[in-house]
Structure 1
Amino acid sequence: MPEYPSHLPLFPTYQSQSRQPLRSTTMPGPTPQLDHIIIHLPLEQLDSPPKWLTDAFTISPGGTHGDGKTTNKLIVFADGTYIELLAFTSPAARVDHWWGDKGYGIVDYAFTLPAAGPGVAGADAGAQGYEHIRTRLDAAQPALAAVGRAGLLPSALRSGSRAKPDGDRIEWHVAFPLPECRGRAPFWCFDVTPRERRVPVDKAATTHPSGALAVGSLSVFVADEGGEERAALLQVLDASVPFDAGPDGVEVRLDESTWELATPRKIESHVPCQLFVVGAREGSGEMAALRDRGRGLAARLTLFTGPGAGERGRIQERVGEEGDEVFIGFTANM
């Protein structure tokens, strides 16, 4: 299992410059996209975001989810992805909620599939594409069940919604892993109402003090020494991001632990977002989060910055007294 590099930067090296992607002999499938990444905050920090967030990002209004249990704000990037800053509306709201037992920090991440077009609801296109992915996920079920990890697979689509501060109600469909596996594998999100109502990608929202332009990479850590958890996650990701998902059937798995992900909006001369599966080091914060605190997800995020952004140090902040550290690195668009 590859270990996280001990030298700076604290994020894996991009693979696309060193290996020419292969072409698949199978028919190309839908192109999975990174949709968003969730950072769980205490309610008081969502209401009044801390300086480590406001110094780096423009924070946009979000709203309250349909069940009234969670509320959010958004950090939107020009590539159409976003960070969801999420908080529970009360301690009681955490009871029996799928993120209720999660600590503060990065707790989950979502994939999506392309919408039908600008201004068009993407639910039909997403649901149809998801059936292609679902077939592959179902094929992985027996092997995952044999090692007790079938819960990593997403369940059937369910409805979700959010009321924005201006009264607009937006809707989507989501498919989650089982509650005990939430965060250990991605969930899926497909818009019913047009995506631009959920993710307002305008200049005001996507212009950040840090110069952040797009998600460069998401590093997901695994802790098991025997490798079963890692092997199971790789199976889920292989089914979720098919080798033939890229344009013209270009392979998007760069090596055994690295995938390229599309994003909802394309930025000219933009290096694709990459997803890494990384072994947590003994004594690291990620190992403590996964093994000692029983977190579902330990992850680090790299953001690309635009021209003229200059050098910027990484964010490394613990969220709350008992939360996990949030690592966000910044690098020039390659």
Structure 2
Amino acid sequence: MAGAPSTSTLDHIVFLSPPGTLEETKRKFVGYGFDVIPGGRHSGGLSENLLIVIKDGVYLELIAFLHPIEHYPEGSEERSRRESNPWAHKLPGWIDYAFLGTSPTISKIINSRAEEEGSGVRYLAEVPGGRETTTGRVLKWLITGPDPTFAVDGAAKNGSLPFFCGDITPREWRVRAVPTERVDHPNGVAEVAHLVVLIPPKDLDEFERQLTSVVGFAPEAGPGDTRTWSLSTTTGSHSPRLILRTPQDGEEEIYVRKRRGCIYKVAFQLARAEGGFLSI
């Protein structure tokens, strides 16, 4: 679609902690050598987060629900909202990733592209979201995600397809509401190198078509069942790779069975003289 906004800018990657354990996850990521900064509580009051901002403009969102589902009385509004949250029943770990929504009509752009290509993916209409920071600033954005009735084998429900976050308030409020030195991490991480999404072999071809409609261009074919898209960042500093592939060993097969596909690993490029990667 000529002149359409980009649908391939990596915005953030989401890591889920068990309910009420956000501080434990903070200690874990500090142990990895990251500088973890305050986030806030999401609108609706069900979850809270912490942030890790990378120099390339991508950030990691460490998120946890305040309470397990059973905390809320059956039949209550809070119980209903908690149970219906798209992340309500996910296992802890990497659970989702977001692209930057640069237009309030990203869903229409993707859906039109998908219809032309016959890929079968469809995104829901944008809905408002937000968060109040620890300093009291109210952030607002628009969210769109894949319609689970059009996804491959539940892929929309497990974070294999990205959602989009488009800012109403300035993105700098959401991401860089702290001094820029907080992006200089003790571990030397400078940028997101790649994220790996695993998918069952039977779903690979169909899911590749759907993801192509979302990203807006076809991937590069790699060895075996590997497909790679080169994404952009808000700083334009480099191109993190989105790698789609099938399991290569028993451990990965178990991972896919438990999660029905999802983000498997995130790798970071180190800025030290010797280079190298940190993979989590």
Instruction: Pick one of 209, 231, 234 that aligns with 1:261.
Output: 231
Quote the Cα distance in structure 1 between the aligned partners of 2:19 and 2:65: 6
Quote the Cα distance in structure 2 between the aligned partners of 1:202 and 1:214: 18
Q: CA RMSD in A?
A: 2.4
Task: Describe the SS at the equivalent of 1:126.
Answer: coil
Alignment of 1:129-144 (within 5 A): 131-140=108-117, 143-144=119-120
For the Cα contact (< 8 Å) 2:14–2:95, is it kept in 1? yes
1:139 Cα shift?
3.5
- Tell me what 1:279 maps to: 246
- Tell me what 1:108 maps to: 96
Task: Describe the SS at the equivalent of 2:248.
Answer: coil
Task: Describe the SS at the equivalent of 2:35.
Answer: coil
Q: In the alignment, residue 105 of structure 1 is paired with which amino acid?
A: G
1:135 Cα shift?
1.5
For the Cα contact (< 8 Å) 1:110–1:186, is it kept in 2? yes
Q: In the alignment, residue 189 of structure 1 is paired with which amino acid?
A: C
Quote the Cα distance in structure 2 between the aligned partners of 1:40 and 1:138: 33
- Tell me what 1:176 maps to: 145
Query: Relative to structure 1, is the Cα distance of residues 130 and 69 closer, same or farther in structure 2, using a 3 angstrom cutoff?
Result: same
Number of residue equivalences? 255
Q: In the alignment, residue 264 of structure 1 is paired with which amino acid?
A: T
Query: Relative to structure 1, is the Cα distance of residues 313 and 133 closer, same or farther in structure 2, using a 3 angstrom cutoff?
Result: closer
2:5 maps to 1:30:
yes
Task: Describe the SS at the equivalent of 1:95.
Answer: helix
- Tell me what 1:9 maps to: none
1:29 Cα shift?
4.2
Task: Describe the SS at the equivalent of 1:133.
Answer: helix
- Tell me what 1:209 maps to: 186
1:52 Cα shift?
3.6
- Tell me what 1:67 maps to: 44
Alignment of 1:311-326 (within 5 A): 314=278
Alignment of 1:76-91 (within 5 A): 76-91=53-68
1:59 Cα shift?
0.5
Quote the Cα distance in structure 2 between the aligned partners of 1:133 and 1:175: 11
- Tell me what 2:76 maps to: none
Q: In the alignment, residue 237 of structure 1 is paired with which amino acid?
A: L
Quote the Cα distance in structure 1 between the aligned partners of 2:83 and 2:109: 34
For the Cα contact (< 8 Å) 1:210–1:312, is it kept in 2? no
Instruction: Pick one of 212, 218, 224 that aligns with 1:238.
Output: 212
- Tell me what 1:8 maps to: none
Quote the Cα distance in structure 1 between the aligned partners of 2:25 and 2:263: 22
Q: In the alignment, residue 167 of structure 1 is paired with which amino acid?
A: G
Instruction: Pick one of 270, 273, 276 that aligns with 1:305.
Output: 270
Q: In the alignment, residue 231 of structure 2 is paired with which amino acid?
A: L
For the Cα contact (< 8 Å) 2:145–2:163, is it kept in 1? yes
Quote the Cα distance in structure 2 between the aligned partners of 1:90 and 1:266: 38
Alignment gaps of 5+ in structure 2: 70-78, 149-153
For the Cα contact (< 8 Å) 1:289–1:298, is it kept in 2? no
Query: Relative to structure 1, is the Cα distance of residues 217 and 111 closer, same or farther in structure 2, using a 3 angstrom cutoff?
Result: same
Quote the Cα distance in structure 2 between the aligned partners of 1:263 and 1:162: 23
1:37 Cα shift?
0.6
Quote the Cα distance in structure 2 between the aligned partners of 1:71 and 1:254: 37
1:30 Cα shift?
2.9
1:185 Cα shift?
1.0
Q: In the alignment, residue 230 of structure 2 is paired with which amino acid?
A: E
Q: Kindly provide the CA deviation profile for residues 222-255 of structure 1, in whole angstroms up to 9, marking residues without a partner as x.
A: 123x3xx222221122112223xxxxxxxx7333
1:281 Cα shift?
2.5
1:217 Cα shift?
0.7
Alignment gaps of 5+ in structure 1: 1-25, 114-124, 145-149, 244-251, 315-326, 329-334
Task: Describe the SS at the equivalent of 2:41.
Answer: strand
Task: Describe the SS at the equivalent of 1:193.
Answer: coil
For the Cα contact (< 8 Å) 2:100–2:165, is it kept in 1? yes
Query: Relative to structure 1, is the Cα distance of residues 42 and 143 closer, same or farther in structure 2, using a 3 angstrom cutoff?
Result: closer
- Tell me what 1:41 maps to: 17
Query: Relative to structure 1, is the Cα distance of residues 311 and 273 closer, same or farther in structure 2, using a 3 angstrom cutoff?
Result: closer
**What is the TM-score when the length of structure 2 is the normalising length?**
0.82
Higher relative contact order (CA 8 A, sep 6+): 1
Query: Relative to structure 1, is the Cα distance of residues 51 and 71 closer, same or farther in structure 2, using a 3 angstrom cutoff?
Result: closer
Alignment of 1:153-192 (within 5 A): 153-178=122-147, 180=154, 181-182=156-157, 183-192=159-168
Q: In the alignment, residue 87 of structure 1 is paired with which amino acid?
A: A
Quote the Cα distance in structure 1 between the aligned partners of 2:230 and 2:275: 25
Quote the Cα distance in structure 1 between the aligned partners of 2:105 and 2:146: 19
Instruction: Pick one of 168, 172, 179 that aligns with 1:196.
Output: 172
Q: Kindly provide the CA deviation profile for residues 2-55 of structure 1, in whole angstroms up to 9, marking residues without a partner as x.
A: xxxxxxxxxxxxxxxxxxxxxxxx846433200111000124441244544103
